[in-house]
Amino acid sequence: MTRAVLWDSSAILALLDADDRDHERAAAVARRIASERRPSFVTNYIEAEAHALLLRKLGRALAREWLLTGGLPVVRVMPKEEERAKEILARHTDKDWTLCDAISFAVLEERRIRLAFTFDHHFRQFGRIEVLGLTETRSGD
């Protein structure tokens, strides 16, 4: 699974929302991931986070359609990854990372995956991950 790409909720929103400021970049990155035939996935935590984000930003019909037909495999987070996420949060008290962010970091670490498709600068703050989506000008958002 080391060639795999974790999709974050920010990338999903940007791809589905034509009015999102990152829409064009998201479409280009999604095409690149597809052309490289990289396996893609979300965690069960990202699935819940993305559904809530889509519901709030794009409405219940689109959020429901994405949830039921989204097409990205859902990887269930293991208890040891949840514990690792809490350790990450405990160690980085100067960061405003969510539990969902930290779980993503733990999943990437534990499963030796180095790619994340996101527009969330927290992934770059964490380091250790190649971030697809963010550009240098967006990294401080």
Task: Give the whole-angstrom CA distance, residue 70 versus residue 134.
Answer: 22
pLDDT, tens only, 11-21: 999 999 999 99
- E strand spans, 21-65: 40-43
For domain 5-135, which CATH number applies: 3.40.50.720, 3.30.360.10, 3.40.1010.10, 3.40.50.1010?
3.40.50.1010
Average pLDDT over residues 80-86: 98
Domain ranges (residues) in the chain: 5-135
Q: What is the pLDDT of residues 1-58, one digit of tens each?
A: 579 999 999 999 999 999 999 999 999 999 999 999 999 999 999 999 999 999 999 9
Contacts of 128 (CB under 8 A, 6+ apart): 105, 108, 109, 114
Tell me the two tokens of residue 83: 């514990």
List all residues 6 or more positions away from 136 whose beta carbon is below 8 Å from its beta carbon.
Answer: none
Helix (H, G, I), strand (E, B) or coil at 132: strand
pLDDT digits (tens, 9 = 90+) for 101-137: 999 999 999 999 999 999 999 999 998 889 998 764 4
70 CB burial (10 A radius; 0-12, 13-18, 19+): middle
